[in-house]
Amino acid sequence: MDVHWLPTDELTLQVGVAYLDSEVTKAPNTADLRDISADPSVNDAANDNGFGFVDALAAPLESGALLSQAPEWSYNALIAYDMPLGNDLYLKFQTSYSWADIQFAQLADDNAKYGSVSSLDGVISLSSDEDNWKVSLWARNLQDKDAETYSFTGFAGRTVYHQKPMTVGVSFRYDYF
């Protein structure tokens, strides 16, 4: 469900909620599905380095397993205020928040479970529609969270990606047409 409300010409409010009840109801045979042998020695021999990167891909897929990249719950919200300054200048303040539940990066990989992930972001921008430019000061992950954002079985065991730390920047945009 997404709700987008404009209570005034300057104020925008958005809220989104998603619920997914996902699972494998009929598990396919992994050799047929992926054309990968479930025998790790065959997989190791197929790799130039001898590492078993694909062993998790050949793991049995059970009925009832959760689908990958399908968090049960996720939420997002945004508040934006556009302030006309006159002379075709606009000042905008915007903040947004997102959260996603625990999920799996791939099927049949116990090491692929990661999350939950949240982020609070913000932006202040000054723009001119007539002159086709915009300058923005933005920040991502204002709470400096360090959540796991992706994981899987790699050659050395469980491999994990982490959320980027708080990041601040300035952007300038000019449209030439």
How confident is residue 59, by pLDDT bands cut at 50, 70 and 90? Answer: low
Rounded to the nearest integer, the mean pLDDT of the chain is 85
Residues 27-32, mean pLDDT to the nearest whole number = 61
Decide: helix, strand or coil at residue 112: helix
**In contact, 142 and 175? CB cutoff 8 Å:** no
The band of 127, judged by pLDDT with boundaries at 50, 70 and 90, is very high
Least confident of 10-14, 21-25, 36-40, 63-67: 36-40
The residue among 121 and 112 whose pLDDT is bigger is 121
> Given this model, what pLDDT does residue 18 score?
97
- pLDDT (0 to 100) of residue 52: 45
Q: Kindly give the residue spans of alpha helices, DSSP state H, lying in the chain.
A: 30-34, 40-46
pLDDT at position 51, please? 47
